[in-house]
Structure 1
Amino acid sequence: MQRCLKILVFMVILIVLAYLYRAELKETTMQYLTLSEDNVFNALKSKLNLALNTTIKMHIEGQGKDNTSNIASKYLNPFDVLRGENGVIFVETTDRMQPPSLVLCAVESAARVYKDRPVVYFMKGLNDTDSEDAVRKYLPALSSLKNVYVFPLRMEEVFKDTPLLSWYKKVDPKREVYWTHVSSDGCRLALIWKHGGIYFDTDIISIQKIPHQYFLAEESSQYFANSAFGFPSHQEFTWKCMEDFVRHYRGAVWGYQGPNLITRIFNQYCPAPSGNEAVDTVCGNITCLLIKRLYPISYSAWKRYFEVWDKEPTFGDSYALHLWNFMNRDEHRTMVPGSNTLVEHLYQKYCPSTYGLTGKNNMV
């Protein structure tokens, strides 16, 4: 069925292209008579490319509400998809092409909670040529979601026109202790600077919409997190974060380019919240989310997600749940179907497609 739909879509595209070409031919025949053969070819190629891009965009934005919507990854770029500054962004800075189920759950849950927004997953290991096939092969749980887009993560391109490019050209990843993490810290800042929207780590399960455009989330009474934040594009705050990232770079210190950096820059604007507030506070136009909004279970108690509860929390005051995957790096705990653990119930409710495929196709 999916193959038939794709064939039908491309037949429609070809018909539209033929019509546009015929209309353009009348208008430009006399013009092309005065051009060389190469110029004629280039001019026609340019017009056909424009027509193709326009047609694909129309299909995705209008008709593209079916399983063929992931063809967008082949024809659009992140600026096309994220132009509304309301996207949800995830980043993968390793080369792995078979993400664990928690990553897929994070992306799926965001796509279900933010149904009216594009959810974009940038993957370092993805190549241009395998974008559509990769979604089907490596990310089957995401292939049916209408608003999920997958793009290659090219760091030099991401850092271009930001303070981070000079750092990236000088740094030696092989000598970095936390390269996967600090490169991710940089990418999220640059992507939000360019595109705006919300950034989430891939171990955060979304459970309801965050109702703020500008926000930071308290991780503890001392620090803001950089695992989730939201800003419009080209905001002074994110630019200052990138400048500080480069000026005071200390990649060997865990969190220095992440929560520590976000907290340092915030403290230049406002005094840090005490962590004892009863409601979210506002500093200028930045909403400071209470700890319970994303971190109702603290990092020191992260194992509770993988345990059976007598009475599970409802998380009624939370927008998302951070599962603290870094804390799990040695034990490698996963969601096990049938375990009756809290994390299993979260999968069942917020990422049912991922849950249904966990244990199949070597997904863990």
Structure 2
Amino acid sequence: METTDRMEPPSLVLCAIESAARIYPDRPVVYFMKGLGNITTEEEENNTRQRFPSLSSFPNVYYFPLIMDELFSNTPLISWFEKVDQSREQYWTHVSSDACRFAMIWKYGGIYMDTDVISISQVPNDHFLAAQSQGTTSSSVFGLSPHHSLTWQFMENFVENYRGEIWGHQGPGVFTRVVTRWCGMPTFNCTDDVMCANISYFHPQRFYPIPYKSWRKYFQVWERLPTFNSSYALHLWNFMNKAGQTMVPGSNTLVEHLYQNYCPTIYRQILRN
């Protein structure tokens, strides 16, 4: 999703969408955008698709407007949304994104992924949570069915413990607090996944084989490229990338190889430009 009014996504966002569309060809991949107006006709849908020509060859990619008050209606989040002063929120783009993912999965179900997550193989479960590290549950990728009781608890915890001024408190913080109460914080003795009650709880290797402190490795040249055989997707930690490093064609960096393999259409477009 895009929680700002930006209508020209950077290449990493487009790569994330393309990689998901390729890895899940039989499933809809939906990109919610706050800056997008209502789409009520086939013509408007076609016009929206034309705004993103690099993704036009993927029939399973859809664009929906992100209308927060409608999304939060009939959920615990609406009371928070109606009273929060967005202008005073230091991390509004991020905490609103945290809230939106809960409401989306509550209402629609499916797999949620951040737009800096490159898919490399199919997640085998539709119901799962994932560890970001030992003792911390990720908010960047998770999957649940519509109206799952755990998602309702996420939303309640978001509102009851709201501290928007603390980075991560409304994202991994919510997940970690609820999971700890739900099943006790799972631990890993090897790289096998474990269970949290009746939900799969994935090892950090599945989405975070490169931890956030080492995020620069994605933009470095490797003597031997990693295989990521134990991963379903790769989180590139874009929030850490304050200098705005991007994929540079011909750089031979790890991120260039990821683009070439998992979002080749975006890669070719960048080459042409």
TM-score (norm 2): 0.96
Q: Which residue of 2 aligns with 1:135?
A: 49
Counterpart mapping for 1:13-28 below 5 A: none
CA distance in 2, matches of 1:281, 1:134: 41
Letter in 2 for 1:135: R
SS in 2 for 1:218: strand
Letter in 1 for 2:24: Y
Moved more, 198-207 or 349-358: 349-358
Q: In the alignment, which of 115, 133, 143 is matched to residue 220 of structure 1?
A: 133
CA distance in 2, matches of 1:102, 1:132: 23
Q: In the alignment, which of 197, 208, 227 is matched to residue 121 of structure 2?
A: 208
Q: Which residue of 2 aligns with 1:315?
A: 228
SS in 2 for 1:213: coil
**Aligned positions, number:** 269
Structure 1 segments unaligned to the other structure (5+ residues): 1-90
Corresponding position: 1:339 with 2:251 = yes
Corresponding position: 1:95 with 2:9 = no
The CA deviation at 1:212 is 0.8
Q: In the alignment, which of 14, 18, 38 is matched to residue 108 of structure 1?
A: 18
Q: In the alignment, which of 136, 151, 154 is matched to residue 238 of structure 1?
A: 151
Q: In the alignment, which of 86, 91, 96 is matched to residue 173 of structure 1?
A: 86
Q: In the alignment, which of 116, 119, 142 is matched to residue 29 of structure 2?
A: 119
The CA deviation at 1:336 is 0.6
SS in 2 for 1:92: coil
Q: Which residue of 2 aligns with 1:67?
A: none
CA distance in 1, matches of 2:172, 2:8: 28
Q: Which residue of 2 aligns with 1:59?
A: none
TM-score (norm 1): 0.72
> Which of these two proteins has the greater Rg computed from alpha carbons?
1
SS in 1 for 2:156: helix
The CA deviation at 1:325 is 0.1
SS in 1 for 2:27: coil
CA distance in 2, matches of 1:103, 1:224: 23
Please give the per-residue CA displacement for 1:266-300, whole angstroms capped at 9, x wherever unaligned.
11121212343331001222111001000000101
Counterpart mapping for 1:1-364 below 5 A: 91-128=1-38, 131-137=45-51, 139-328=52-241, 330-358=242-270
CA distance in 2, matches of 1:142, 1:232: 27
Letter in 2 for 1:136: Q
Kindly indicate whether the alpha-carbon contact (under 8 Å) linking 1:275 and 1:291 is maintained by their aligned counterparts in 2.
no
SS in 1 for 2:140: strand
Please give the per-residue CA displacement for 1:236-293, whole angstroms capped at 9, x wherever unaligned.
1000110111111110011111001101001112121234333100122211100100
The CA deviation at 1:131 is 4.4
Please give the per-residue CA displacement for 1:42-65, whole angstroms capped at 9, x wherever unaligned.
xxxxxxxxxxxxxxxxxxxxxxxx
Please give the per-residue CA displacement for 1:212-231, whole angstroms capped at 9, x wherever unaligned.
12111110112011000000
Structure 2 segments unaligned to the other structure (5+ residues): none
RMSD: 1.2
More helix by share: 1
Kindly indicate whether the alpha-carbon contact (under 8 Å) linking 1:279 and 1:290 is maintained by their aligned counterparts in 2.
yes
Kindly indicate whether the alpha-carbon contact (under 8 Å) linking 2:109 and 2:145 is maintained by their aligned counterparts in 1.
yes
SS in 2 for 1:198: strand
Q: Which residue of 2 aligns with 1:39?
A: none
Kindly indicate whether the alpha-carbon contact (under 8 Å) linking 2:191 and 2:205 is maintained by their aligned counterparts in 1.
no
Q: Which residue of 2 aligns with 1:16?
A: none
The CA deviation at 1:359 is 5.3
Please give the per-residue CA displacement for 1:309-361, whole angstroms capped at 9, x wherever unaligned.
11000000100000000000x21000011111110110011001111112556
The CA deviation at 1:133 is 2.0
CA distance in 1, matches of 2:8, 2:272: 12
Kindly indicate whether the alpha-carbon contact (under 8 Å) linking 1:220 and 1:275 is maintained by their aligned counterparts in 2.
no
CA distance in 2, matches of 1:107, 1:121: 8
Kindly indicate whether the alpha-carbon contact (under 8 Å) linking 2:186 and 2:196 is maintained by their aligned counterparts in 1.
no
